[in-house]
Chains A and B, each alone.
Chain A
């Protein structure tokens, strides 16, 4: 993954110099281990600030909506699917964006890495060909990349960008034989009361900071349902029913659109696995309507169309 950094800088430099884009959105190296910060550059000379490694899990498609300029942006598989969704949903136009596609083998899960390090202070995390090295004052650990990937990356089946104007490397092999819904089926097997407890416990730490919603590229509504007051659909306090309502409705609004990029889980300051809500909808959309989000610029999304013979055994 590190090898792409130079190419990304080069592409950004070229695009800005030629004037093909007004701005370029990428990452710069973060100030703490395992974090990088999204930046927007306008000057080709700033391209050297751009950085790339396996800690680039923040979804840059989140920064594209409502912009009027021509934008260059770096995108891996899932993020490129969000760009497709933006275009399909008329948030940006295709010719507004130049996608620098990056074949991806997965982003690191910094929480997992902290745990593996026994929650001891980490000075730096280096990437090697086969994995990572955690370095601190008094210890060093090596791990295989497979063991420290973000959960969504471990089960990813669209690692290569689906839309791109420039590609920084050769396509990587897609994973096969992946069971994406094992955890969902585990919940489906529970009785209703057990499921209810499961979800209550899941969101118990939620502090309603809305980092999950704000990190998500799909959540671009001018007025989120949370902020509607006449009527107020969901209260603002940390009342457990309100919190569950928020997560339920937000997941529902992502039905057929979520690409499982994991930005929500990355953003959550208290480590809630919010993908447990969206994955269920993703599974249903796939099974009921044969749809995966963000793979086609030409087809309408599943809730924007219908078939006369759609499943309806549940309707009397």
Chain B
């Protein structure tokens, strides 16, 4: 891959207890997946706010991936249940506004599912790479007088 070829920048919000653990285990197991994700650890997928996801797109993320514990397994019991509802609405609204489906991804990955992590990471990276660089919702210095 040459230096000038575009590489997707994907921000991955991983919940501390499950998905982050799964990512860590994937690393321990030397599982391979594309190097485009940049991880931000959150205590729980229920902590996610639309401001974070929008903030990532505004700062130039080509894709955003949020991953948490499986419903029923949340470290904080029910955080991911609330998150699930918020995610559904957010994804729908963002895509309604014109963000391409394929830029925003969600998954449930437990701390034992290292292979799933690597697989989903690969899927997400491929999906975003196919769409090319993000062009919408990018906040640059203000376009004003």
Contact = CB atoms under 8 A, between A and B. Distances in A.
A/B contact in complex, CB under 8 angstroms: yes
Interface of A: 184, 187-188, 192-199, 225, 231, 233, 235, 237-242, 244-245, 248-249, 251-252, 255, 277, 280-281, 284-285, 288-289, 302-304, 306, 308, 310-312, 314-316
A311 B51 contact: no
Nearest to B120: A316
14 contacts: A196-B99, A198-B98, A199-B97, A199-B98, A233-B51, A241-B139, A248-B94, A252-B50, A280-B92, A304-B82, A312-B71, A314-B87, A314-B106, A315-B108
B85 A315 contact: no
Contact of B93 (A239, A281, A288, A310): A281
B24 interface: no
Nearest to A287: B92
Interface residues of B, number: 42
Contacts of A308: 71-72, 81
A190 to B, nearest CB: 8
Given A288-B88, A308-B72, A192 B98 contact: yes
A310 B100 contact: no
A290 to B, nearest CB: 12
Contact of A255 (B89, B91, B105): B89
B84 interface: yes
Interface in B109-145: 120, 123, 136-140, 142-144
A312 B87 CA distance: 9
B25 interface: no
Residues of A contacting B: mostly: helix
Which 4 residue pairs of A and B lie closest in terms of their CB atoms, listed nearest first? A196-B98, A306-B81, A195-B98, A316-B107
Contact of A303 (B86, B97, B106, B142): B86
B89 A281 contact: yes
Centre residue among B87, B98, B136, B144 by max chain A CB count within 10 A: B98
Interface string B43-81: 000000011001100100000000000011000001001
Given A233-B51, A252-B50, A288-B88, A196 B144 contact: no
